[in-house]
Amino acid sequence: MNYSKNRNLRKAAIGKRVILSWVIIGMVCYIIGGVSGYALKTHIIAKNKPNEEEQTIEQVQLELSVFGAYDGSVSTTEEVSINWGAGDLDFTPLDVPMSEEEQEFIFYLAAGYNVDFALVMAMIQHESKFQPNAVSNTQDYGLMQINTCNHDYLTKMLGVTDFLDPYQNIRAGMFTLRKLFEKYQDTDMVLMAYNMGENGASRLWEQGIYETSYTQDILSIQQQFNEQLEGDADAGKLENN
């Protein structure tokens, strides 16, 4: 899949979309809340270019990290950390039935949350097969299949008004995913809690069960997507998941 000549312009536009979404969230929280710690602002942290020694340390840390691993910080609705400088990140779209603009939105939001882009894309593939209007028999909505039991909470927290809108659904699903990583840190446990709810997942954990067919499928798709991103097109092709 070829990238357009207007890549830099589109990257700037998608960055503005990410930042704007969080400004809107902050405004909603300010209007709804009066809760301590919520303010009409976003926290954008742009790092300076590290020197060669710092780059080496970061590269070693990256090699040792687990995709989607918790980074020790706590996300709030008005805050997303953009810890990169110009040219640090290189977005490459996956060969899937989703627009490059939507994928790029996921890519940069995933970077802000320190969650693996391919993991999020694997969840969307498994949950909805990239169909933004998907509604399940159990009332799960949109790309990331947000259940109606969570709609009120996510509306209050994020200002989501339409769970079938791709961008709002992605924000809701990725916020939920990030908060689960903050709580459980382990990728399998996070996926189980996302899939069956924390109460349902905890009952399996009490039985010593820490992975399911759902988690295995997601991680398998994630691996295929990462192989595709690394340039192994044949290995990265999706099987019938």
| Neighbouring residues of 194: CB distance < 8 A, sequence distance ≥ 6 | 123, 176, 177, 180
The per-residue pLDDT for 29 is 40
Neighbours of 177 (CB within 10 A): 22
Q: Residue 71: what pLDDT?
A: 53
Residue 240: inside a domain: no
SS3 187: helix
34 assigned to some structural domain: yes
Q: How far apart are CA 222 and CA 118, in angstroms?
A: 5
pLDDT at position 217, please? 98
The pLDDT value recorded for residue 90 is 87
Is 235 inside any structural domain? no
Question: Has residue 241 been placed in a domain?
Answer: no
Task: Tell me the pLDDT tens digit for each residue of 129-153.
Answer: 999 999 999 999 999 999 999 999 9
pLDDT of 89:
82
Check residue 173 and give its pLDDT: 97
Task: Judge whether 91 lies within some domain.
Answer: yes
Enter the tokens of residue 199.
């109460």
Q: How many domains does the chain have?
A: 1
Instruction: Give me the tens of pLDDT residue by residue for the chain, a chain 241 residues long.
Output: 433 334 544 555 555 555 455 444 444 443 333 332 222 222 222 333 344 444 444 443 433 333 344 455 555 554 465 665 656 788 999 999 999 999 999 999 999 999 999 999 999 999 999 999 999 999 999 999 999 999 999 999 999 999 999 999 999 999 999 999 999 999 999 999 999 999 999 999 999 999 999 999 999 999 999 999 998 555 445 554 4
At 138, which CATH number? 1.10.530.10
Does residue 234 lie within any of the structural domains?
A: no
2 within some domain: no
Alpha carbons 153 and 159: distance in angstroms, whole number: 9
Close Cβ partners of 18 (under 8 Å, ≥ 6 residues apart)? 80, 105, 108, 109, 112
pLDDT tens-digit readout, 196-237? 999 999 999 999 999 999 999 999 999 999 999 998 555 445
Cα 240 to Cα 175, 217, 227: the distances in Å are 28, 10, 17
pLDDT reported for residue 91: 92
The parent domain of residue 218 ranges over 7-229
Residue 187 lies in a domain: yes
